[in-house]
Each structure stands twice: as structure tokens, then as C-alpha cells.
Chains A and B, each alone.
Chain A
Amino acid sequence: MFTTILITGLILGHYNPVLSPISDVSEKDSIDSERQEKDIENFPPFPDVQDDDIENTSIQQKRGGILILANRGDPPAGFDTMRTSSIALHHVAGALFGPGNLVMRCRENMYLVCPYLARSWFPNPSFSEWTFILRNDVFWHDDTQFTPDDVKFWLNLAISGLNVGDKIRAPAYFEGDLEEIEKVEVLPPDQVRITLKNPNRFFPDILANPRLKIAHPRHLMEPRMNNGDVSISPLDIELIGLGPFKFKNYEPGTIIQVLRFENYFEKDDRGNQLPYLDGIDYVIISDPVAMDIAFRTGRLDGGARGFGHYLSEERIVGYTRDLGDDVSFAQIEGGTIRLAFNVLKSGPWQDMRIRRAIALWIDKESAIPAVLGGFGWTTPDISPNNLFKDKRFVIWPKFDLEPLDERRAKAKKLMEEAGYSNGFSMGHLCRARHTQACQFLKDQLLGLGIDLQLHIIDEGEWNRARVSLDFDTQPGALSVLPIPEGTEGVYGRFSISPDAYSKHEDEEVDRFYRLLRDATTTEGRIDIWRQLQKYLFLDKTYIIPIAEATYVVPYRTHVKGLTIPSEDGHTNTDFATVWLDK
């Protein structure tokens, strides 16, 4: 089955310039192999890495068994994927609603787009209309057939919400991503045509975001919504979805149980129906140490996802000591910790030299053991296997090349030049859940005489605070954005996107994003993206990326067939290919 996907991908790649092979990047890496080796050195050595053996077709997968996983908390908002992107939901939602919608990120290479509910798609010559041909063997968990009308209902609900009488249902939180959609048409019997406001060559990439999951069956929700029950959530209709597992039981605060869906459409390459497992039990454990204890005494097959639950070097010691060879660790590239400046608020940091000085002064390497649990690396923004990752960023354009002492001497000089050799006081918005990073920054900046005042905010206030202009600096969110087009919301101008990490009104950044949208080739995109990064992180230093975390999730070695994406823990949480070897 997977070879078919690959072949389909390649065929479509011929048609769609996005799906170019990865060899593109590796050619350009020949420039400085020494630096590249150092890069690999920086990547910490690892006790055990699990390769997914999907392609190893000689192994006979065993059917049956219940997989027991930890979940970070209760899925919020009634399991509604349009209301929240919390990993507590998406760890479970993958099994219930599938790894994607019409399309998904390919299991072997998440930077490629693979068919899921649609078996193929094609654009019109100007890339302003995309037609998706749906599969005809997809069923909801109550055995109703999945039709193109379901797609139209879901997309319209996400983009514009619903008005019934005086009751309003808000659109999805990700409607900004789908804003480009002007119209959705159904072409019977099995096609959907999506018309965009502006041409976009890479529209399937945007659709393939694993957070866009269809959890809203039209045949169950539409009648109730038209009756006035607009706030209906998936939990109200027993979590009927399209994924490999169907809902069995939910005890809030304790456990979520799902069972194999016998009518699931995906098959493995031998024609056996997926999934292999009989079911999955997600045990809700909100305390990471409690999860460690449970795993190490054999009560769990896999760890939870979510920052805080991912393992650190120190916690792994306990795992290897108690379980030895029975445990393996999956690595996923994760979010970045950074320092972002609010240059719209008056203060010494409005001077670019001061921001540059701070960037040079911070000892980024030491953030990895202290804040990221020992797993991570210093990087501008994106993870190593990402198409858009420039492994040579450390050479070009000279990002942290010199040793720490020299950088710090330069930083001191810059501070003097700007007239602040005695330092100053600067505020920092600190999230209660991640005070490690704030403590680290506070101490680092002491050397320059900067007194970083921490405003510690808990979750309720975090979302209001980070979009306001009240704070001098902030860390930004921990999200992972694998494609550059998705970053305008966080790097763009404040008046366009108040959620931006750094508050600025620099129109150069606008220009870069326009160029990005108009790019015609992959090389072009990569080139523009690199220039944008140089501008943001080096020339203007609006944001100082400190280090990117590597998320580590433990799994028992008897759990086979895991698809571990190279980045973004929300990807491929369906566990359809997983089987238990015991």
C-alpha cells in the first residue's frame, strides 16, 4: 500500500511542482562538509532510536491487542478539532478522526502530501481551482457512506461558522488558513471543487495540516444545528468519525478508550485491512513524573505527547535503568524557545544594536541541558530534515560562528556604542508552565547588566497577554510550523497579525511574504525563506531564536510499526500501522 502511495506521489509530483524529491537540498550541502559534521555532532547521541519498519514487508504483523498510551490531559472543548489544537486532543483525535482530511502528510516523509479521503486531485492551469476526487469506500463509524456533501458542510462550517436565528456558531480557529477559499462545490458523484480567491500552487500543503481533522459528520450534526443546537460538539454525538478506531468509552479525568473500526478503508501493502490493534486505551496522566513511574513499572506501552511530558536526559536514566532493552525512544523535532522584542514599545531594545548585543551574548548551547532537557539544538527556526532547513545556516549568513568569548566581547562593545554600558531594565512575559526558559534568560542577561523582570502569567491570561503591546519581550508560542507560508501569522506585522511573536510594523517582511507566495519553484521558495530568516534573525534581530527542542517519546520495544514524524508531534497520531509483538 505504501509503495502505491509513493508512486502516486511521484506521479503527482511530476504534475505538481511542490512534491520535488529531497535530493534538491542535499546537493547544496557540499559546500562545507566540515561544518555539516559539526552539526551532526551537535545533535546529541542517543541510546536507542526506533526505525519504523513499515517498508520491511517481510515481517508478519500480528493482529490484536490493546495499546496503552498516556495522554497529557482531558481533550478540551468536547473533542472539537475546530475549537482547539491542544495535543491532549490530537493525540486521541488521530485515531478517531484520522491523520488528515482530504489529504494528509505522508507517513514515510511528512513533507510530502499523500491522498487520504481523496484518492487524487488536480488544479486548473492557473492554480485557482482545485478538484479532489474522493474515495468511494470511506464510511463513518456508524456505517454511513462518506460523501462530497460532507466535505462541503465541513469546510463551510470551518470557514464561516453558522447562524441560526439569533444563535451563532463561531468559525474554526484555523479559518485564517482556509481564508483563501472562496467557494466549495460538489460535483456528483464523488468530486469536490474548491475555488480560491487567489491562485496558490501549494494549496494541498495547507490542507495537509494534521490539525484540520473532520470530526463533524453532516448527517448527524446538520439536523441538530438547524434545530437551534449550534454549539453541538463531537462529544455530543458519540465521537463518530472517519478514523481507524471508533469510540468506546470516555471517563473524564481518567481514561479514553477506542476500538478498531471494522470498516476502515486503509489497507497495508498485502491487502490486509488496517488497523492491526484491537483498540487503544489513553490513560490521562497530567503529571509527567507520574507518567514516568507508570511507564517504568510496566503499566504503559507509550508515553504522552506535549511539552512537559517529553523526556529529558535525566528522566531517561530511570527508564533505561528499569527497562533496559525493553524501551526505545522516538525523536520528533519540536518547538523553539526564543526571545522576541516588542519594538513598538519604547525602550532601549528599539535600537537594533542592543538587540544584536543580546543575541551575541546569550550562551545558546547551555539552554539545551538547562531548559530543553538535553535534547535539542541551536537553530534559527526549523528542524534538520525539513525541506526548508538550511544546514549551512551556521556558515551563511554567519550565525554564531565565533566562540562565546569573542561574541560576548562584541556584545559589550555594541552595548557601549548604544550608550547602555550599565545596562537597563526590561520586562519579559513568562508563561507559568515554562518558567525554566525565563529563569535561564534572566540569568543570562545579567552579564550585560540587563535586569529582566519576569511577569509570570498562567494559562488563562497568556493568550490575552501575548497579543497585547504591554510587554517588552516575550517568548512566543512553542508551535511548530513546517512550511514557511504558515509563518506569516507569527513573524508578520502587528497590524496584520496581532499574534506575532515580535511586534513590529516593518513592511520589508510583508514584501518577503508576497515574494514567497509568488514563487514558482521549490528552489525559489527556499531561497526567499532563507533571506527572510536572515532579515528577521540577523539583520534586524526582531527575534532571537535560542534553541529548538527535540521531543522524546518513550515506547516499549514490543510496540512495532510506529510512524514517527521528523517534526511536529501532532502528525500521524492515528496508530493505524501499529502492532504489538507479544
Chain B
Amino acid sequence: MRQFRIGNYLFWRVVSLILTTFIASVIIFIVMRMLPGDIVSWILSGGGEAVHSTEVREALRQELGLNDHLVVQYGRWLWSMVNGEFGGKSLVNGQPIASIVFRQFPVTFLLVTYAIILSVIVSVPLGVLAASRRNQWQDFLVRLITIPGQALPNFCSALFILLGLIIIFRWSPPIVYTNPWEDLLNHIQIILLPVLLLTWEHSSHIVRVTRAYILVVVNENYILYARAKGLPQGHILLRHALRNALVPIVTIMGLQLGWLLSGTLILEAIFGLPGLGGGLVQAALVRDYTVVQSLVTLLVFVMLSVNLIIDLIYRISDPRISLSNQLTHSYNGS
């Protein structure tokens, strides 16, 4: 019975996911077309330096298909998203967007994945530690690390760390990005700093939440019962407290994904990583319509999918939560 309800729920959520992405893409398309600025002039004048005539400009507009009706342009773009071309070609570079995405996506994906994995590895034990040694020196130490992690702007720390590295060690990260399967050492050198910074920020949230949940959970009745039974402290912590705290923790991690992506945006710019964030900002600044449309739609789709999966896990694993389409109570962390 429950399986059927899960399936039903899943179906409607997927439908709404697709619908939402579609609506988002239309909104983005309209917004981008409303922007002031003329990308054709930008291409022709090489960034504002050369002079050129109106006829040339008009001819290029025609050539790039910018004179067709808006609906036609949108239709063309939508079709190419679906059939794998991902929106056609960049208006500025002439590169196929599919290749842009395939090139940039791994960078951002790796960065985010490393950060998430490291955060989980680091923060859950730290949270448990802080909870179990509450108000003792371990707790204070953890607080000392995590409070700045949450509050300090990550680009600020990045700047100062880079500066320190140059002045003290005369070392800078490599300038050419390589994927790990191409040159592992180079990859580690270039991605280490941004990953550490992201982890610091992200795990601070999680440590906080873990600590708090465990403190809540240990006051529940079944813990008292377990202790009354005579089970050892560690066993209680791991098997009972942590397991029950895990689901909200995972939920929070999913919700944090948005913050994480925002963080990668700036760090990619500072460290010169060729990822989706930096590419998006660059494209938006030069009004590269097609690239922005495709990238933002892709990001929206990914975000919503991840949220969907996490929501599903949450509901399946906790039978107390109803499977109706309404969220009764969400554990919104900050």
C-alpha cells in the first residue's frame, strides 16, 4: 500500500519538476531578451575597439537568427535542448553549448562533490564529539572553528590565504586546470584550496545541526530506555541517536546545495577554475543569450532534482511523515 503511494507521489513530483523547469526556462528566455545591450555589436567590435558599419551589423544579426520571431527562437532553443545539442552554439564564441557544458560541468561537479564528501566526513564526527563533550574544551574548539566558517565571507579568506602563500612560500596554484584522470597531482594542487574553503563553510552548518539534533534526540524516551537497559554510551550514540538524527542532517545538506553552488561561483572566479559558475557570470556580462539560458535551466533542473531525491528519501525513511503533497513541517536549518 505504501509502495503504491510512494509511486504515486513520485510521479506527480516528477511531473511538477518538469513543469517547473519549463516555466523557469521561459522566464529566463524572456528576461534575457529584455536586457539592454546588443550582442552583435559586441562581437563585431572585438570588445569595443573596432569600428564597423550598420549593414555589417544587420547582416550578422540575420545570420545568427536574432531577427526571427521570439517564439521561433525559443522553439529552436527548446528543441535543441531536448535533442542533445543543449541550445545550439554560443553567440559569442561559436562553440557548441553541449561542449561548453561537458567541459565545465565536471569541474563544478568535482568541486561540489569533494566539498560535500569532505564535509560529511569531517562534520558528523565533529558534531557528535561536540555534543558528547558538551561545554568542555572539545566543544569550545569545535565552536571556534565552525562559527567563523559560517560567518566569514569565503572570498575574503581566499584572498588572504592566496596572499599569504605567495609571500611566505613563494608558491601559487598551477594555472592550467586538468581533470584528475589527466594529471592527478596538478589537479590536486589547483583544486585543494577552493575545496578546503568550501568544506570549511559547508561543514560548519552541518556540525551545528548535527550537534543540535543529537542533543535533542538524547532527551527522547527511547534513549533513556536504552540506557536503562544498560547499553554502552558509544553504542547508544551511534546506533540510536545518530541514526535518527541522520535524516534531518541529510535534508539540511540538500537544502545547502544552493548555498554551495553560490560559493563555487565566487571561488571559481578567484582561483580561475573553468567551471559552470564562472562561465555563467561571463556569459551574462556579455549577453550571450543562448549560453545563459541553457546553463541556468540546467542548474535549476539539477537543484530541483536533488531536492526531489532528498525529499523522497526523507519521506520514505521516516514513516511518520505523510506522503501527501503538502509539507507539514520542514526542518529548516539556517
Q: Do chains A and B make direct contact within the complex (CB under 8 angstroms)? A: yes
- Interface, chain A (partner B; CB < 8 A): 74, 76-78, 80, 83-89, 161, 167-176, 211, 230-231, 233, 235-236, 251-255, 281, 283, 285-287, 290, 293-294, 296-297, 299-300, 322, 431, 458-464, 466, 477-479, 489-490, 497-499
Instruction: Please tell me if the beta carbons of B95 and A285 are within 8 angstroms of each other in the complex.
Output: no
Task: For chain B, residues 47 to 79, give those with C-beta under 8 angstroms from any C-beta of chain A.
Answer: 47-57, 59-60, 62-63
B93 and A458 contact, CB distance less than 8 A? no
The residue of chain B having its C-beta at the shortest distance from the C-beta of A170 within the complex is B59
Known A169-B63, A173-B52, A253-B104: A459·B47 in contact at CB below 8 Å: yes
Cross-chain contact A459 with B59 (CB below 8 angstroms): no
Q: Is there contact, CB below 8 Å, between B285 and A171? A: no
**Pick from A175, A235, A300, A322: contact of B170, CB under 8 Å:** A322
Query: B176 near A458 (CB under 8 angstroms)?
Result: no
> Could you give, for residues 158-192 of chain B, a 1 whenever the CB lies within 8 Å of some chain A CB and a 0 otherwise?
00001000100011101111000000000000000
Residues of B19-71 at the interface with A, using a CB-CB cut-off of 8 Å, are 35-39, 41-57, 59-60, 62-63
Q: How far is the CA of A254 from the CA of B35 in the complex (A)?
A: 29
Q: Which of the residues B44, B59, B100, B104 comes within 8 Å of A84, measured between beta carbons?
A: B44
Q: Is B106 an interface residue (CB 8 A)?
A: no
Known: A296-B166, A459-B42. A490 touches B36 (CB 8 A): no
Known contacts being A84-B44, A85-B45, A299-B174, is A176 close to B272, with CB within 8 Å?
no
* Of A78, A84, A300, the contact of B175 (CB 8 Å cutoff): A300
Residues of B within 8 A of A299 (CB): 172, 174-175
Query: B269 to chain A: which residues have CB within 8 Å?
Result: 287
B263 at the interface (CB under 8 A from A): no
Query: How distant is the Cα of A80 from the Cα of B89 in the complex, in angstroms?
Result: 15
Q: Which residue of A lies closest to B43 (CB)?
A: A77
Expressed in whole angstroms, the Cα–Cα distance for A147 and B171 within the complex equals 51
CA distance A168 to B287 in the complex (A): 23
Separation of A59 and B94 alpha carbons in the complex (Å) = 44
Contact with A along B202-233 (1 / 0, CB 8 A): 00000000000000000000000000000000
**B92 an interface residue at 8 Å Cβ cutoff?**
yes
CB distance from B107 to the nearest CB of A (A): 9
Instruction: Write out the residue numbers on chain A whose beta carbons fall within 8 Å of the beta carbon of B99.
Output: 252
B149 sits at the interface (CB 8 A): no
* Chain A residues closer than 8 Å to B254, beta-carbon distance: none
List, in ascending order, chain B residues with CB within 8 A of A74's CB: 93
B194 proximity list for chain A (CB < 8 A): none
**How far apart are the CA atoms of A464 and B42 in the complex, in Å?**
9
Complex Cα spacing A297 to B170, Å = 6
Contacts of A235 in B (CB 8 A): 94-95
Whether A294 lies near B175 (C-beta < 8 A) is yes
Task: Please tell me the number of chain B residues within 8 Å of chain A, measured between CB atoms.
Answer: 53
Is B87 an interface position by the 8 A CB rule?
Answer: no
- Cβ contacts under 8 Å, B56 to chain A: 170-173, 175
Q: Which of A231, A464, A478 contacts B37 (CB 8 A)?
A: A464
Cβ–Cβ contact A294 & B92, under 8 A? no
* Min CB–CB distance A545 → chain B (angstroms): 17
**Given the interface contacts A283-B176, A293-B166, does A459 sit within 8 Å of B285 by beta carbon?**
yes
Could you name 8 residue pairs across A and B whose Cβ atoms are closer than 8 Å?
Answer: A170-B63, A231-B63, A252-B93, A299-B172, A459-B286, A460-B38, A463-B42, A464-B41
Which residues on A sit within 8 Å (CB–CB) of B51? Answer: 173, 176, 477, 489-490, 497, 499
Asked if B127 is at the interface of the complex by the 8 Å CB criterion, the answer is no
| B103 CB–A CB distance under 8 Å | yes
Closest Cβ of chain B: how far from A209's Cβ, in Å? 10
Give bound CA distance, A477 to B41, whole Å.
Answer: 14
Chain A residues within 8 Å of B177, by CB:
254
**Which one of B50, B60, B93, B104 contacts A170 once the chains associate, using CB atoms below 8 Å?**
B60
CB distance from B312 to the nearest CB of A (A): 35
Contact B43 A76 (CB under 8 A): yes
* Inter-chain contact A461/B36, CB cutoff 8 Å: yes
Contacts A84-B43, A287-B272, A290-B272 given: A252-B100 contact, CB under 8 Å?
A: yes
A85 touches B49 (CB 8 A): yes
**Complex Cα distance A230/B42, Å?**
21
A89–B44 CA distance with the chains assembled, in angstroms: 13
* A78 touching B49, Cβ below 8 Å: no
Looking at B38, B50, B272, the one whose CB has the most chain A CB atoms below 10 A away is: B50
CA distance A252 to B103 in the complex (A): 8
- Give 6 new A-B contacts, CB below 8 A, not counting A176-B51, A297-B172, A498-B54: A83-B43, A84-B50, A173-B44, A253-B103, A460-B42, A462-B42
Is the Cβ of A173 less than 8 Å from the Cβ of B45?
yes
By beta carbon, the residue of chain B nearest A230 is B63
**Within 8 Å CB of B54, what residues of A?**
498
Chain B, Cβ-Cβ closest to A467: B41
Q: Please, how many angstroms separate the alpha-carbon atoms of A4 and B66 in the complex?
A: 51
B264 to chain A, nearest CB (A): 15
Known: A76-B46, A462-B48, A479-B49. A297 touches B286 (CB 8 A): no
Residue of A77, A167, A463 touching B93 (CB-CB under 8 A)? A77
Chain B residues whose C-beta falls within 8 Å of the C-beta of A285 in the assembled complex:
175, 272
Closest to A294 in B: B175
Per-residue interface assignment for chain B, residues 84 to 122, with 1 indicating a CB less than 8 Å from any chain A CB and 0 otherwise: 000000001111000110011000000000000000000
A478 to chain B: which residues have CB within 8 Å?
A: 48-49
Chain A residues positioned under 8 Å from B95 (CB to CB): 78, 235, 252
Among B38, B54, B93, B278, chain A packs the most CB atoms within 10 A around the CB of: B93
A172 to B48, CA, bound (A): 15
Report yes or no: B50 in contact with A85, Cβ–Cβ below 8 A. yes
A-B pairs, top 3 by smallest CB distance, nearest first, are: A460-B37, A463-B41, A253-B274
A497 to B55, CA, bound (A): 13
B98 to chain A, nearest CB (A): 13
Question: Do A233 and B274 form a contact, CB below 8 Å, given A84-B44, A253-B279?
Answer: no
Minimum distance in angstroms from A287 CB to a CB of chain B: 6
Cβ–Cβ < 8 Å partners of A462 in chain B: 42, 48
From A161, A283, A479, contact of B50 by CB (8 A): A479
B 266-304 binary contact with A (CB < 8 Å = 1; else 0): 000110101000110010011100000000000000000
Q: Measured between alpha carbons, how far is A176 from B50 in the docked complex, in Å?
A: 11
Question: A255 is contacted by which of B35, B100, B176 (Cβ under 8 Å)?
Answer: B176
Q: How far is the CB of A501 from chain B (nearest CB, A)?
A: 10
Instruction: Please name the residue on chain B nearest to A322 by beta carbon.
Output: B170
Q: Are B43 and A458 in contact, with the CB atoms below 8 A? A: no
A293 and B162 form a contact (CB under 8 A): yes
Contact of A176 among B45, B53, B63, B176 (CB under 8 A): B53
Smallest Cβ distance from A346 to chain B, in angstroms? 24
Assess the A168–B175 pair: CB atoms within 8 A. Answer: no
> In the complex, which residue of chain A has the Cβ closest to the Cβ of B59?
A170
Contact residues in A for B92 (Cβ distance below 8 Å): 76-77
Choose among B47, B62, B176 the residue that contacts A86 (Cβ–Cβ < 8 A).
B47
With most chain A CB atoms within 10 A of its CB, the pick from B49, B60, B95 is B49
CA distance A80 to B92 in the complex (A): 11
CA–CA, A343 and B36, complex, Å: 25
Do the beta carbons of B46 and A283 come within 8 Å of each other? no
| Contact A76/B93 with A297-B170, A458-B37, A461-B36 known, Cβ cut-off 8 Å | yes
The chain B residue sitting closest to A179, CB to CB, is B53
Task: Give the chain B neighbours of A297 by CB distance below 8 A.
Answer: 166, 170-172
Partner of B45, one of A172, A283, A463, A497: A463
Q: How far is the CB of B143 from chain A (nearest CB, A)?
A: 34
Q: How far is the CB of A548 from chain B (nearest CB, A)?
A: 15
Task: Looking at the assembled complex, report how far the CB atom of B126 sits from the nearest CB atom of chain A, in whole angstroms.
Answer: 33
**Min CB distance, A428 to chain B, in Å?**
16
Assuming the A-B contacts A285-B272, A294-B175, A461-B36, are A168 and B279 also in contact, with contact meaning beta carbons closer than 8 angstroms in the complex?
Answer: no
CB-defined contacts of B60 to chain A, threshold 8 Å: 83, 170
Hey, which chain A residues are within 8 Å of B166, CB to CB? 293, 296-297
State the Cβ distance, B1 to closest chain A Cβ, in Å.
52
* Identity of the chain B residue whose Cβ is nearest the Cβ of A464 in the assembled complex: B38
B103 A458 Cβ-Cβ under 8 A: no
What CA separation (Å) do A124 and B37 show in the bound complex? 47
Determine the distance from Cα of A28 to Cα of B169 in the docked complex, in whole angstroms. Answer: 55
B100's closest neighbor in chain A, by CB? A252
